[in-house]
Amino acid sequence: MKELAGIYIIWLRDVKKFFRDKPRIIGSLAQPAIFLFILGSGLAISFQVFGGGGGKDYLEFMFPGIIGMTILFTSFFSAMSIIWDREFGFLKEVLVSPLSRASIVIGKNLGGSTVAMIQGSIILIFSPILKIPITVVSILKLLPIMFLTAMVISSLGITLAARLKTMQGFQVLTNFILMPMFFLSGALFPLVDLPKWMAYLVIINPLSYGIDAMRTVMLGNSYPQLHPLYINVIVLSAIIIVITFIGILLFNKQE
Amino acid sequence: MSNNIIEVKNLVKKFNNITAVDNISFSVKEGEIFGFLGPNGAGKTTTINIICTLLSLNSGDVTLCGYNVLKDKNKIRNCIGLVFQDPSLDDRLTAMENLNFHSLLYNVPRKLIKKRCEEVLETVDLTNRKNDLVRTFSGGMRRRLEIARGLIHYPKILFLDEPTIGLDPQTRHKIWDYIIKLKKNQNITIFLTTHYIEESEICNRIAIIDRGKIIAFDTPEALKDMVGMDIIIISSKDNNKLKFYIEKKLNKKVEIHEDDNIKFEVKNSSNFIPDFIKNCPVKITSINARKSTLNDVFLNLTGREIREEYMNAKDNFKLKMRFRTRM
């Protein structure tokens, strides 16, 4: 009970701060909009020029990927706010409290994931403009998948943040972890007939399972699927458990 | 014996090869104001962090409210309130939200949270700002809010690590008023650190700490008695004659101070001065007496003064950050 109250308040803090920061909500729509409307439309035309199917199909294919991208960045940045909290002293206030390290990690993860899920759902407002078919049912299926994907990324971010003392390492992480994760996630191109080394990287990329699952619940099997939905869900859940566990260990060890 | 709420025995803490805390032992009595006085980098914060379970120790034994600091971390965390040296509020939340956050972390019963928040806000005079974002608060207000926050869960011991660092004198004064008021109203033990000498005089007992060691440990009065002397500085029309008079007739050691002042020490300046003026053969142009301070004690013990020059680059940076975030 007391641990639940702690998890709740850590979650609440992140969610409250998210809704309070209206410029951030609007600002973070810019990146997905650029990807969808400029890169997406541009690539769709080039696929027509170089032969192949209709251009609209590519936008449809890309759409779940862009939701995935939004979730990737939002939840990772949320997790990284731990480093800010460390730098500005707030983390100490949490660490010296009687709340267990496990609850701190879980509360933080749920907070970041909720924010990422909301941010990801906001992308859905672009779907009528791009004429992408979505139904209430597909949205209801999409939400838990978004949340699960966000939790994977959050747990990864939190675990890294346990060891990162300053924001300086952050740029490196963005370049060496976030960008490869994004490009190898199947967000922008289907992950079929890849060179061997890339295929391996896709297997260990947690985001590829999330985006595959999102595409399946949004668009059915009209595009190449990596795995059946249930496999994706199982793999995502397993990764969350393992990484969260490592994160808790690291926070416990920390001085 | 049983009224020692904190007991520290032979505590040692090393960071790599640097010994930050070097085999110190002390105890704090329940209900007292206990102070750690020393220059920056003396090991004050390190010791507090160990007592508060935030840092591990290399050797030694620390108990707090009867709990061992290594074994019963959570029990200790429940019975202490902590105001850190560095600011630790979330400035994008309101004062009330910060307090609410803390209450839930510390498992304050739901029904009591609102009442306690109001109560502590009242104590530090922030009731009318409770729904404002902390970003809009001044440095002193933030500090008061942090003290309020440290009190919500009714801790047995309140730790104040440099509670007034970086604040202007007026605000510092106010913060100390709150602390004294607090002490009067609730029977709480207060453990504070400071490098401002005058501030440590409100303590019941003081440990002077330097380079990881406790070099003196007593009441402020007893410590000052150790130096024992009041300092008298005079100047006159004829300093040589005066010097001769003081040395030969009064048998005091005299030093000629800068600007041709004559400086010497007496036991009790208030009794000494009237007689001295009456009997002095030379016309005195100015006379100045100063009670000994804890700075003299520190000077006496270490040969150095407690001053800001011990502040290293990191502290300096931290201070700057503080001002920046407190704008």
Q: Which domains does chain B have, with CATH numbers?
A: 4-224 (3.40.50.300), 229-291 (3.30.70.260)
Assess whether pLDDT exceeds 50 at residue B327.
no
Nearest CA in chain B to A12: B101
Contact B248, B227 (CB under 8 A): no
Query: Counting one residue from A and one from B, how many pairs have CB atoms under 8 Å apart?
Result: 67
Reading the block at residue A37, the tokens are 């409307």
In total, how many domains does chain A have? 1
In chain B, % of residues over pLDDT 90: 25
- A5, A85, A92: residue with CB nearest B107: A5
Alpha helices in B192-252 (DSSP H): 220-227, 239-248
- Residues of chain A with Cβ-Cβ distance to B105 below 8 Å are 6, 9, 93-94, 97-99
| Contact criterion met (CB < 8 Å) for A94 and B104 | no
| Contact criterion met (CB < 8 Å) for B93 and A90 | no
A173-232 per-position pLDDT tens digit = 888 999 999 999 999 998 888 999 999 999 999 999 999 999 999 988 778 888 999 999
Domain that holds residue A81: 2-253
**Edge-to-edge, what's the strand order for the sheet holding B157-161?**
B80-83, B157-161, B189-194, B33-37, B205-210, B213-218
How does B146-181 read in b/e, with b if 16+ C-beta sit within 10 Å? Answer: bbbbbbbbebbbbbbbbbbbbbeeebbebbbebbee
The ipTM assigned to this model is 0.86
B149-184 per-position pLDDT tens digit = 988 988 999 999 888 877 778 878 878 888 888 788
Q: ∠ CA(A82), CA(A85), CA(A91), 5° rounding?
A: 90
Give SS3 for B326: coil
Q: Is B43 left (phi over 0), alpha (psi -120 to 50) or beta?
A: left
**pLDDT value at residue B171:** 78
**pLDDT value at residue A238:** 97
